[in-house]
Amino acid sequence: MPRSASLVLAALTMTIITPSLFADPSPVTLKKEDRIVFLGDSITQGGNGGKGYIQVIRNQLAEKKKDLGIECVGAGISGNKVPDLQRRVDKDVIAKKPTIVVIYIGINDVWHGESNPKNGTTPEVFESGLKEVIGKCTKAGAQVILCTPTVIGELPGGANKLDAKLDEYANISRKVAKELNLNLCDLRNAFVDHLKEGNKDKKESGILTTDRVHLNDAGNRLVAMTILKSLGE
């Protein structure tokens, strides 16, 4: 093979990032009076009560780690993208003095750009924005758990319109977590695996979401259990 062809092949190979390449750091160790702030969009906003994923985590820790007195704080706002988190991380996260921050973002960064790219977030802005938000959290003394975005449509096998774009942004989150030595909570991978086995009828929604994006009870439980693994539970 000519040297030029070899270089092209090597460059292409370097751009292919899969979840198996990333070994997560050890789970975060929960301590007495930890305060966990969950930062995100409408999925996180809706997850802070009822049967939402934050409430499931809150209930689980109250039962299993009652002696630690852990506090779970929701900081989700509907429609948020990474640039929105950059604008409000000081007020909505740092000011609450968290010891752990769970960042679950990326759906709107992809979804809002479906009809008009200007409404989404470019990969470069997504990556640099994540790094800024994470940097502020770690500088404030908090451990960060970075989640990958989940789904926009539940068809298995990459059949949803925005699956390739979501995978691109999930890979950015995986790359950032690896570079910054963060605990990666790979929700994207968990959802894809679940839907491969649990959506034999190839429904667009109704397995883990109510509307292809926002979580139903089963989706909230899956998110909660996956995050709890990153918390060592």
Output the domain CATH number for residue 192: 3.40.50.1110
Burial of 5 (0-12, 13-18, 19+ CB in 10 A): exposed
- Is the pLDDT assigned to residue 132 strictly greater than 50? yes
Q: Give tens-digit pLDDT for 148-166.
A: 999 999 999 999 999 999 9
Structural domain total, the chain: 1
In-domain check, residue 7: no
Q: What is the pLDDT of residues 9-56, one digit of tens each?
A: 444 444 444 444 444 576 799 999 999 999 999 999 999 999 999 999
Angle between helix axes 187-198 and 163-179 (nearest 10 degrees) is: 140
**Residue 5 pLDDT:** 46
In a domain, 21, yes or no: no
Distance, CA of 116 to CA of 99 (rounded, Å) = 38
Instruction: Tell me the backbone φ, ψ of residue 216, rounded to 5 degrees.
Output: -90, -175
Inside any domain, residue 5: no
User: Considering the domain boundaries, does residue 8 fall inside one?
Assistant: no
In a domain, residue 104? The reply is yes
CB 23 within 8 A of CB 185: no
| Structural domain harbouring 120 | 30-230
Q: What confidence score (pLDDT) does residue 82 get?
A: 98
- Global pTM value: 0.89
Mean pLDDT of 75-91: 98
Q: What is the pLDDT of residue 24?
A: 54
